[in-house]
Chain A
Amino acid sequence: EAGVAQSPRYKIIEKRQSVAFWCNPISGHATLYWYQQILGQGPKLLIQFQNNGVVDDSQLPKDRFSAERLKGVDSTLKIQPAKLEDSAVYLCASSFGADTQYFGPGTRLTVL
Chain B
Amino acid sequence: GQQVMQIPQYQHVQEGEDFTTYCNSSTTLSNIQWYKQRPGGHPVFLIQLVKSGEVKKQKRLTFQFGEAKKNSSLHITATQTTDVGTYFCAGFYSNYQLIWGAGTKLIIKP
Contacts and interface: CB of A to CB of B under 8 A. Distances in A.
Interface string A29-65: 0000100000001111100100000011010000000
Contacts of B92: 98
A42 B45 CA distance: 14
Interface residues of A, number: 21
Which size class do B's interface residues fall under?
A: 20 to 34
Given A42-B88, A43-B88, A100 B45 contact: yes
Interface string B17-36: 00000000000001101010
B33 A48 contact: no
A105 B48 contact: no
B97 to A, nearest CB: 6
B48 A100 contact: yes
Give chain B's interface secondary structure class. strand
Contacts of A98: 30-31, 92, 96
A66 interface: no
Interface in A14-33: 33
Interface in B71-110: 88, 90, 92, 96-103
Interface of B: 6, 30-31, 33, 35, 42-45, 48, 88, 90, 92, 96-103
